[in-house]
Amino acid sequence: MNQKIDCFIAYSGQQETQNTINLLRKSQVVQSIFVLSASPVQLEGSQNLTISQPQSTATINLIAANLNADYALLGLQATQLGLGQWALERMMQLAEGSKAAMFYADYFEIKAGERSNHPVIDYQAGSLRDDFNFGPVQLFSQQSVKSFASENYPDWQDAGLYALRLHASRLGEILRVPEFLFSMTETDTRLSGEKQFDYVSGNARQKQIEMEEACTDHLKKINGFLQPNFKSVEFDQDFEQEVSVVIPVRNRIKTIKDAVDSVLSQKTSFPFNLIVVDNHSTDGTTELLKSYDDERLIHVIPESTDLGIGGCWNEAVYHDSCGRFAVQLDSDDLYFDEQTLQKVVDKFYEEKCAMVIGSYQMCNFKLEEIPPGLIDHKEWTPENGPNNALRINGLGAPRAFYTPILREIRIPNTSYGEDYAVGLAISRTWKIGRIYDAIYRCRRWEDNSDASLDISRHNAHNAYKDSLRTYELKARLNLNR
């Protein structure tokens, strides 16, 4: 094995970084070790590179200028790293054989002194989200890094490493090694539900703009970019009801009454109904729904027993009583005030769009606002929203659809990502309207489906959404041909 690695690692403390350096120096495939830090540091067996932001374009360009080996190992998270048995030799062996542009591997995660397995997922063409987990280190071919530096990317502070990954994907394969080759000390011990909204906190807005620019650049270079040339929708089909609110529910006795009441209290200039698809509840939800004496409430219990949330939506959308517009409400949540449905319908007619997405306020079970407060998805713009939709992991809530188009597309029978799948498909052809004021209350409590996901479910969710993006990207590439 003649090929070598130059290692570039972020400074994580004097002793922690020295420990990592000592491990790297034991490998015969390591040629040089560079420590990236905000101020000069001296550590035995390494060279120091002073940087401002570890994932900036300037940092990637600096790495390229100092890379002389065949491969660059990047560990840009400020955490102590561990190496498994022959970890670097194993990656080099696979690199020599496959000639891929980038490699990453499963890893061990150490939290509060406890070690656990942290498998990652395979990379797909649609793995365009900027929070894809590649583990603590990535191995790039020299060509990937050097050619990145030659292309004069913008001076991004946060999107440099993301752009490098996208750049590498255009040069060759990005491959996962499904072996636990590294370990890292995890300092963020929050549950999955607590991390979910990091993208709207602190300086996230500027970071989101940079990530969108990098993704848009990538889509243009692979011919997957969509011009904002949407079909207008003419709402010319006859419906008895203007709106049907759709609530899929299973065993939500604690919340379903609040959800139903928030719908029935709506003030509108048009007729509407509520279709509750009761997915064989066993906790008293069914009996509560039957107790309502309001002809607007249509209580549906499907014959099928294998339906996810998407399948329940299909039951409602194809119901004879479904209205012109189908509007989402989760059984945990409720509308912000009595004007929500009116605002949604007004937006449909104002913009002649096939889908409307609102904004929501995060609150606790007592309806008290909790951080991060308003989730408005202002990263969506009419000019670039359909392209940026391939990067972000969700489109917002509440979601509303023009029923004939929703019937044409159909909803996947899953309980995660089904709304995102439909939104992507709609955005390829039709306009999506946005409401940036809060019209929905999203309640966070211990029984939320995404409050605390284990790693296998979290990976399954991410892999599924990546597959949706992959199929959508293929459709757009074919469309652009």
Residue 449 pLDDT class (50, 70, 90 cuts): low
What is the number of domains present in the chain?
A: 2
Same domain as 464, residue 345? yes
Same domain as 303, residue 434? yes
Mean pLDDT, residues 28-41 = 97
Q: Is the pLDDT of residue 213 over 70?
A: yes
Q: Could you tell me if residue 217 is inside a domain?
A: no
Q: Where are the alpha helices (DSSP H) in 134-223?
A: 142-150, 160-171, 192-195, 204-221
pLDDT, residue 383, reads 86
Mean pLDDT, residues 296-314 = 98
Beta carbons of 182 and 82 less than 8 angstroms apart? yes
Q: Could you tell me if residue 224 is inside a domain?
A: no
- Residue labelled with tokens 């200039």: 269
**Percentage of residues in the chain with pLDDT exceeding 90?**
88
CATH code of 123's domain: 3.90.550.10
Instruction: Copy the structure tokens of residue 204.
Output: 């996230």
Boundary (domain end) residue, out of 190, 205, 229: 190
Between these two residues, 116 and 197, which has the higher pLDDT value?
116
Q: Could you tell me if residue 359 is inside a domain?
A: yes
Q: Could you tell me if residue 197 is inside a domain?
A: no
- The number of residues making up the chain comes to 481
Same domain as 248, residue 152? no
Q: Could you tell me if residue 207 is inside a domain?
A: no
Same domain as 259, residue 135? no
Same domain as 159, residue 98? yes
Q: Is the pLDDT of residue 22 over 80?
A: yes
Same domain as 296, residue 151? no
pLDDT, residue 1, reads 52
CA distance linking residue 99 with residue 101, whole number of Å: 7
Same domain as 373, residue 468? yes
For residue 307, the enclosing domain spans 243-480
Q: Is the pLDDT of residue 202 over 70?
A: no
Same domain as 274, residue 170? no
Q: Return the H-helix or E-strand segment holding 243.
A: strand 243-249
Task: Compute the mean pLDDT over every residue in the chain, rounded to the nearest whole number.
Answer: 94
Q: Per-residue b/e over 362-376, b at no fewer than 16 CB within 10 Å?
A: bbeeeeeeeebeebb
Q: Is the pLDDT of residue 192 over 80?
A: no
Same domain as 382, residue 286? yes
Residue 68 pLDDT class (50, 70, 90 cuts): very high
- Say how many CA atoms lie within 13 Å of 210 toward its Cβ: 21
Helices (H) and strands (E) in the chain, counts: 15, 18
Boundary (domain end) residue, out of 164, 190, 216: 190
Q: Return the H-helix or E-strand segment holding 474.
A: helix 455-480
Q: Is the pLDDT of residue 419 over 50?
A: yes
pLDDT, residue 451, reads 55
Q: Could you tell me if residue 219 is inside a domain?
A: no
Lowest-confidence range among 155-169, 191-205, 310-324, 351-365?
191-205
Residue 461 pLDDT class (50, 70, 90 cuts): very high
pLDDT, residue 191, reads 52
Cβ atoms within 10 A of the Cβ of 476, count?
A: 22
DSSP assignment, residue 430?
B
From residue 400, give the alpha-carbon distance in Å to each of 162, 250, 396: 32, 21, 11
Boundary (domain end) residue, out of 146, 175, 190: 190
Amino acid at 84: G
Same domain as 122, residue 261? no
Q: Could you tell me if residue 448 is inside a domain?
A: yes
CA distance linking residue 374 with residue 366, whole number of Å: 16
Residue 311 pLDDT class (50, 70, 90 cuts): very high
Mean pLDDT, residues 388-404 = 96
Residue 228 pLDDT class (50, 70, 90 cuts): confident
Q: Where are the alpha helices (DSSP H) in 103-203?
A: 142-150, 160-171, 192-195
Q: Is the pLDDT of residue 332 over 60?
A: yes
Q: Could you tell me if residue 221 is inside a domain?
A: no
pLDDT, residue 127, reads 98
Same domain as 248, residue 178? no
pLDDT, residue 190, reads 40
pLDDT, residue 195, reads 45
Same domain as 327, residue 390? yes
Mean pLDDT, residues 355-367 = 95
CA distance linking residue 247 with residue 274, whole number of Å: 8
pLDDT, residue 279, reads 97
